[in-house]
């Protein structure tokens, strides 16, 4: 099963779980399963049209899915998927 790494700001929506395993063969299906299991994650990952939000990046291995096949990017059993939202802190 592929592994998804959940970033700190979103862990409150995944029962504080940092790593999740998902049985899916594409990124789109992975996100579907993820938001089905954790409905509160949905508005943080997807816009009203069901597209990945533009301030959230999803990387498969080291690569941005926008440079791969977006939602159709293939996910294998040993794939590590990272969700990386924009954060702005620094001066505070």
**Does residue 17 belong to the site contacting another protein (CB under 8 A)?**
no
**Does residue 90 belong to the site contacting another protein (CB under 8 A)?**
yes
* Binding piece for another protein, criterion CB under 8 A, among 23-31, 48-56, 71-79: 48-56
For residue 28, the minimal CB distance to another protein (Å) is: 20
**Does residue 42 belong to the site contacting another protein (CB under 8 A)?**
no
CA distance linking residue 69 with residue 61, whole number of Å: 13
Q: How many residues bind another protein (CB under 8 A)?
A: 26
CA distance linking residue 92 with residue 51, whole number of Å: 32
For 9, 12, 59, the CA distances from 15, given in Å and listed in that order, are 12, 6, 22
């Amino acid at each position: 099963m592929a592994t998804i790494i959940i970033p700190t700001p979103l862990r409150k929506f995944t029962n504080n779980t940092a790593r999740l395993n998902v049985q899916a063969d594409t990124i789109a299906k992975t996100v579907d399963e993820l938001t089905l299991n954790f409905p509160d994650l949905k508005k943080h990952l997807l816009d009203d049209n069901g597209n990945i939000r533009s301030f959230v990046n999803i990387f498969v291995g080291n690569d941005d899915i926008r440079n791969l096949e977006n939602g159709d990017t293939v996910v294998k059993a040993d794939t590590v998927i990272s969700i990386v939202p924009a954060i702005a802190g620094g001066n505070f």
